[in-house]
Structure formats: structure tokens, C-alpha cells
């Protein structure tokens, strides 16, 4: 699952001409460490929902990779 999230994040980064990640840590902050802005987060939400049929941001802001993984595992 973590590898798929890395792939999705890299698609978002690539679409915005940002540098792709080579690895992903659960502790990484989506804005501070990965550099996603609000538009990137919106795209990330749509892509994760399309892949996993869950809106990880439906209960509020998600800040870290760990929070995304936790929500996906609880589905």
C-alpha cells in the first residue's frame, strides 16, 4: 500500500513539475516535507479516492503519510 501511495504522490508531483520522491516515510508531512500545496492535496485526494474508493480527507485535514495509511487500513 505504501508503494502505491508513493506512486500516486509522484504522479501529483510530476503533474506540477515538482521533483519526484525516491522513498516515502510514514512520518513525512504532506506540505512541509513533500511540498504539496492545496491544489496538490486536492489532486491527491481525487487520485486516492479513485484507487481505494475512500476520501481520506472526509473527516478533516490529513497532514502526514502515516495518517493516509491509517485511514486506508481502517477501510
pLDDT at 21 over 90: yes
Given a cut of 80, whether residue 39 has pLDDT beyond it is yes
Region of 37 please: left (phi>0), alpha (psi -120 to 50) or beta: beta
Predicted local confidence at residue 75, as pLDDT: 76
Give the number of domains in the chain: 1
Whole-number pLDDT of residue 30 = 97
Longest dimension (CA), the chain: 32
- Write the CB contacts of 56 (distance below 8 Å, at least 6 apart in sequence): 45, 48, 49, 62, 67, 68, 71, 72
Asked if pLDDT for residue 45 goes beyond 90, the answer is: yes
Asked if 69 and 3 touch (Cβ cutoff 8 Å), the reply is no
Domain that holds residue 28: 2-73
* Residue 32: count of CB within 10 angstroms of its CB: 10
Q: What's the pLDDT score for residue 59?
A: 84
61 pLDDT higher than 90:
no
The enclosing domain of 9 has a CATH number of: 1.10.1200.10
Average pLDDT of the chain, as a whole number: 94
Amino acid at each position: 500500500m505504501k508503494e502505491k501511495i508513493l506512486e500516486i504522490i509522484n504522479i501529483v508531483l510530476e503533474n506540477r513539475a515538482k521533483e519526484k520522491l525516491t522513498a516515502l516515510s510514514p512520518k513525512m508531512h504532506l506540505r512541509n516535507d513533500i511540498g504539496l500545496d492545496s491544489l496538490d492535496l486536492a489532486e491527491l485526494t481525487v487520485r486516492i479516492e479513485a484507487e481505494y474508493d475512500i476520501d481520506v480527507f472526509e473527516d478533516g485535514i490529513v497532514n502526514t503519510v502515516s495518517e493516509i495509511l491509517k485511514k486506508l487500513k481502517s477501510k
